[in-house]
Amino acid sequence: MSLLPPLKSLNDIATYIVADGKGILAADESNPTCSKRFDSISVESTEDSRRDYREILFTSKGMNGNIGGTILFDETIRQRSIGGVLLTDIIYSQGSLPGIKVDKGLNPFNESDSETLTQGLDDLDERCFEYRKLGAKFTKWRAVINIGADAPTQECIDANMDALAQYAKIAQKNNMVPIVEPEILMDGEHSAEDCLNASSRSLKSLFNFLDNYNVDITGTLLKPNMITAGSNNPDQISEDEVASLTLECLKQHVPDGLPGIAFLSGGQSDIKATHHLDAMNKMGGGPWKLTFSYGRALQQSALKTWLGKAENKEAAQAAFSHRALMNRLAASGKWSPDLEN
């Protein structure tokens, strides 16, 4: 039995995904990425083992009420559970909406060693039409911006944001909410100010292109990075500074009509990602919902508990459910570190 209210418009779908502190489970790892995660726990990555692991997540009690949307990979949206139930139907039964990653990864931009352009526009309309029939209610496309000696160039930013806007228009044409993800990578030694600069330039460009293509902002969600120093920079800033800089950037560049902003974790630890989200919601002041769209920061503890063993299923589900609840509380500004124990 579905827990979903009638969702008639793109705005209804986008608003539902981020309502009441709910966020998004990013379970859209490509098979090579999933293989790396499974290597860390010495589990062979096969179609069945990937299915088993994701079924553990999707059937966890913590999905219900905490996860408003679940991003899938092409393989997963077509899979059935061990019991023969479509995984998308399991997600729906938990009150979550299934979505789909539709970009096709990165190619070098203008033969650059450090800058990339996301691919996948050529056959996107046909793929979106099929994914809609397979049950997807929303889509995701990731643009990747690196900070380096001469990067990011405005040319690379604009090319990626143009592609993001074209993708968003095609997704909406197929009656699915687009999640636009302009990720400034944490990798590197750059400062938080460098991240703020690159993020500001990217968001300004993105919303200009979305406007140019007449994308309906009220039926769109944004998945940005937080403003942090590079992961190799010894001078990290505090949680409150991350929250303050991130809010400053968003208020300057994100229009009021956007229903929600669901942050990527971008390599942060699970607790750190939760802490930063909570700090932003305690500060508040923006017109949009501020929530999560985490992959590793939601899954890591469950993966390390599961270890590919059927007898660890319930413990892995408990670990995932805990992280899902902690992040819903953070999305409401009600988290505190002592809740982690």
pLDDT in tens, 130-174: 999 999 999 999 999 999 999 999 999 999 999 999 999 999 999
pLDDT of residue 325: 98
CA distance 141 to 26: 12
- DSSP 3-state of 24: strand
Residue 195 lies in a domain: yes
Q: Which two tokens stand for residue 2?
A: 């579905």
The active-site residue out of 22, 223, 289, 313 is 223
Whether 155 is covered by a domain: the verdict is yes
Residue 169 lies in a domain: yes
Classify residue 338 by burial, with Cβ atoms within 10 Å: 0-12, 13-18, 19+: exposed
Specify if 255 maps to a domain.
yes
Total domain count, the chain: 1
Range of the domain at 289: 10-331
Is 340 annotated in the active site?
no
Residues in the chain: 341
Cβ atoms within 10 Å, residue 285: 8
Would residue 339 count as lying in a domain?
no
What integer pLDDT is reported at residue 167 of this predicted model? Answer: 99
pTM exceeding the 0.75 threshold for the entire prediction: yes
Q: What is the CATH number of the domain that holds 295?
A: 3.20.20.70
235-258 confidence digits (pLDDT tens): 999 999 999 999 999 999 999 999
Asked if 336 contacts 325 with a C-beta cutoff of 8 angstroms, the reply is no
As a whole number of angstroms, the distance between CA 71 and CA 76 comes to 10
Angle between helices 296-306 and 270-283 (to 10 degrees): 150
Give burial (CB, 10 Å; 0-12/13-18/19+) of 286.
middle
Q: Is 193 a catalytic residue?
A: no
> Can you give the pLDDT at residue 4?
86
Checking if the pLDDT of 293 tops 70, the result is yes
Identify whether 336 is part of a domain.
no
The arithmetic mean of pLDDT across residues 175-200, rounded, is 98
Of the residues 55, 115, 181, 183, only one is catalytic, namely 181
